[in-house]
Amino acid sequence: MLQFLSLVGAIALTAVCWGVYGPVLHFGREAMHSSLRPFMCVGLAYFLIAVLAPLALLARGGERGAWSAKGVLWSLLAGTAGALGALGVILALGFGGKPIYVMPLVFGGAPVVNTLLTAFMNKAFDQLKAPFLAGLILVVLGAVTVLVFKPQPQPHTPPAAAAAASDAGPEIAAPAKTPERKAERFVEVLLATALSMLSWGAYGPVLHRGQGAMGGSRLRPLICIGVAYFLIAVLVPLALLVPMGDTGTWDMRGTLWSLGAGSLGALGALGTILAFACGGKPFTVMPVVFGCAPVLNTLATIALAHTPPAAVSPFFLAGMLIVAVGAAIVLTFGPRGHAPAK
């Protein structure tokens, strides 16, 4: 019972951290008017939390497991997948996407990728029973419902400007956006979102393989993830700032928001590792995380954007309830793995 409660607590830590990640990162990107600079802050936060802190703890000794080439490789791949997923989110927000629907899309598609990849890697398609698949479908349907019936942002038009616009008549109305540019950005948002879906969907199974190859160690896979984030999210964007003509600025407010987003991501990675250490499997841990995270993401977005209660649709609330029910079914009826051979 204690192990199950520890598993639920670790899953809750990951879901909360990754659920708040999108809105916090959005504030950082908006403040710095850049996509690369917030990404660098995310990588720096990962380096501090997922590399330096675990190295200090390892130096004290007492952590189980051991370094292995196979475990390091799989864990670095997991960190690479996580960094590419974060890059996809930043690009989607930079192309005009909003976290209130980008994150539900990502967290709706990632559990499907996670389940299929886990079953393929473990040759366990025979363990995908009807209740588990039904719960997985509920998670995806709930996330899509949250997306479709998301609260719309309220326009903030000053009264004086609105009165002047109405008096001026339709002749000098503000020019509308061209549909060609809108369609182009929509495609870009979808491509960036698909990158995050595939990357974060592969994150759990790959990380689980790396942790298993290092004897169930908690800190060593986290260090590898932090190293991968530092290489991809700090050094690469730093080299691309000038060639890509980044016009953003280093802003204290944006830096703090982006560092906060990176800290949340690193703590979420730690929660995932702890869940695996408590006996959780990618079949069950990741669908529950990806099911609860969009709900928390949307609630955080509503709270931070001060969305009025009247803008929240009953169907939107029903979608969040469907996600919660589906996540509970996935956790209850998820595959438990093959029994060890005698």
The pLDDT tens digits of the residues spanning 70-119 come to: 999 999 999 999 889 888 887 887 787 776 677 767 777 787 788 888 88
Instruction: Write down the pTM of the prediction.
Output: 0.75
Across 273-289, b (16+ Cβ under 10 Å) vs e yields: bbbbbbebbbbbbbbbb
Tokens of 313: 């649709």
Rounded CA separation 75/329 (Å): 29
Residue 184 and residue 38 in contact, taking contact as beta carbons nearer than 8 Å: no
* Range 321-341 average pLDDT: 67
Average pLDDT along the chain: 80
Residue 31 and residue 295 in contact, taking contact as beta carbons nearer than 8 Å: no
DSSP string for 128-184 = --HHHHHHHHHHHHHHHHHHHTPPPPPP---HHHHHHHHHH-GGGPPPPPPHHHHHH
DSSP string for 276-334 = HHTT--HHHHHHHHHHHHHHHHHHHHHHHTT--GGGS-HHHHHHHHHHHHHHHHHHHH-
Confidence of residue 158 (pLDDT cuts 50, 70, 90): very low
Residue 152 and residue 312 in contact, taking contact as beta carbons nearer than 8 Å: no
Tokens of 232: 């991809």
Tokens of 106: 């990502």
What's the pLDDT at 259?
94
Residue 264 and residue 74 in contact, taking contact as beta carbons nearer than 8 Å: no
What's the pLDDT at 207?
92
First to last CA, the chain: 26
What's the pLDDT at 254?
92
